[in-house]
Amino acid sequence: MASFVLAGAVATRFGDAAIAAHQVAFQLWIFLALVLDAVAIAGQIIVGRELGAGRRDEAYGAGERMIWLSVTLGAVFAALMLALAGVLPRAFTDDASVLDEAALLWPLFALMQPLNGAVFALDGILIGASDGPFLALSMVVAFVACAAVLAASLAGGWGIRGVWSALVVLIVVRLALMTTRFRRGRWLVTGWA
């Protein structure tokens, strides 16, 4: 959330239309995140159950299925967001300058949905495995990367595209770190740790 607060602060520096467009996309992003999180919560429970029962292979297999399910759902959301790019922002506003700014950020917002699906699924899997310290550290690293791009965006006058590029960096860094953790299997701790 700190990344989105900082992104909002940077977006305000680019004017009223930029922050308004940012809010339109952010509200939809949160809505879609909650839907994708439903799969992550299921993954959390399944992984926790399998690891608690000492079934490492089953936990890993369930995790893979959750990731692919979330990525597929995210891809469906991406397709819908792209198809409705000219419609959805108009449900929030009829201001031409806000719609212009929304059009600039929309491809980034839409195309990050499959990545979000993978990230949220991995969150659930690693939470179910009680891998909280790793998740906290990876989030700090991702926040720093996002903040660096936001600072560059502000300094370079990249506008709303720069703001949403920074948010994509947040998700990509989280995805890279958590995918590496998932693949290495250090989270597969069974029974009482």
DSSP E strands: which ranges in the chain? none
pLDDT in tens, the chain (193 residues): 899 999 999 999 999 999 999 999 999 999 999 999 988 899 899 999 999 999 999 999 999 999 999 999 999 999 999 999 999 999 999 999 999 999 999 999 999 999 999 999 999 999 999 999 999 999 999 999 999 999 999 999 999 999 999 999 999 999 999 999 999 999 999 876 5
CA angle 75, 177, 66 (to 5 degrees): 40
* C-alpha distances out from residue 68 to 43, 53, 75, Å: 11, 24, 10
Report the distance separating Cα 79 and Cα 83, nearest Å: 6
What's the longest Cα–Cα distance across the chain? 58
3-class state of residue 190 by DSSP = coil
pTM for the whole structure: 0.94
